[in-house]
Structures are given as structure tokens and as C-alpha cells.
Amino acid sequence: MFGGNAAPQGRDIGGMSWFSRKPRSRFPSDMAQRLEMLGRFEFDVHNSGVDSADIFPYCLEPFWPIAQEDPIGLLADLREFVKDDDSGFVTYGASRLARELVDKEHLSTPDALALLDGAIEFKRMRNLPSAMLTGHEWSRWLDVHGQGTWPHGRTHPPV
């Protein structure tokens, strides 16, 4: 972009070019770690190695005000945040965060459903049996894919 004769694109004001910056995230810099912690804990409470006493103050409580003030924005930001998640635990944690903090009326929005679909895909890719899905995950799977479409699972890899 900056090579050759092409000038960088920006807004020209009195001979000065102002570049637009990516908006600052509303999330703390360790958000991925928080979501991964929540995802690992929710995925396997007993074998995650996460102390349950850390979940509320570290993974849930800080986001309660955002969930109350702007649930739609929170869901959109969570969806954007997890779009490049390779582990799946961050996505699963984001889905669980949404489920814990966002009012039920907002859990059917496209962003909330995308997070839920990501959580389901995380479990499907690990070849888990359908019994490992939560009730709302299983309901969503059936709504989208129908009866008899979940692949048979095998023992899941360690957390």
C-alpha cells in the first residue's frame, strides 16, 4: 500500500492527512485469557484446573455493566473478538459469557446465535457425543440441523 507512487489514503485537512484508527476495544487486554479460562471451566469443571472462585470476579463480574447497558453491542463485540480463535476455548467462553450475562430476549440475535453456533461447532469438532451439549446448545442444533444429524462422538481430548 505504501510502496510506489501511491500516497496513503486519509482525510486531507489543510495539507495534513488524518488516518482513521481501529476503535479501541471495550475489553481488557487479557480478554482472550479470561474467555479461555471461562471456556475451559465451563467445558470441564472438574478437570479444567481453573479455580471456580476465580470465575465470577475475573470472567463475569467485570462485564455485567456492559451486558446491562449495551447487550447488543457486547454480543457484536464478542463475535468480532472470537472470529480468529484457533483454540475454540475462547469462542466457547464467549458463548458462555453471553449466556450468563445477557438477557434471554437478546440471545436470539444474529450475534448471539453466531456465538452459540461457534460453541456447538467447538464441541462437534472435538467429536463429543450430543450428551455433552447443554440444553440450549442441543436445541439450537436441532433447530438448525434436525434430528439424527449429530455425528457419533468418541472420548474427548483432555482440556
pLDDT digits 0-9 by tens, 10-42 = 444 555 555 555 556 789 999 999 999 999 999
Q: Which residues of the chain have pLDDT under 50?
A: 1-12
User: What pLDDT sits at residue 21?
Assistant: 53
Confidence at residue 9, expressed as pLDDT on a 0 to 100 scale: 44
In single-letter form, the type of residue at position 44 comes to D
Task: Quote the pLDDT of residue 134.
Answer: 95
pLDDT at 76: 97
Q: Which pLDDT does position 73 carry in this prediction?
A: 97
97-129 burial code (b ≥16 CB/10 A, e <16): bbbbbbeeeebebebbbbbbbbbbebbbeeebe
Query: pTM of the entire structure?
Result: 0.80
pLDDT of residue 26: 85
Q: CA nearest 67: which of 117, 36, 33, 106? A: 106
Cα R_g (the chain), whole angstroms: 19
d(CA 103, CA 147): 28
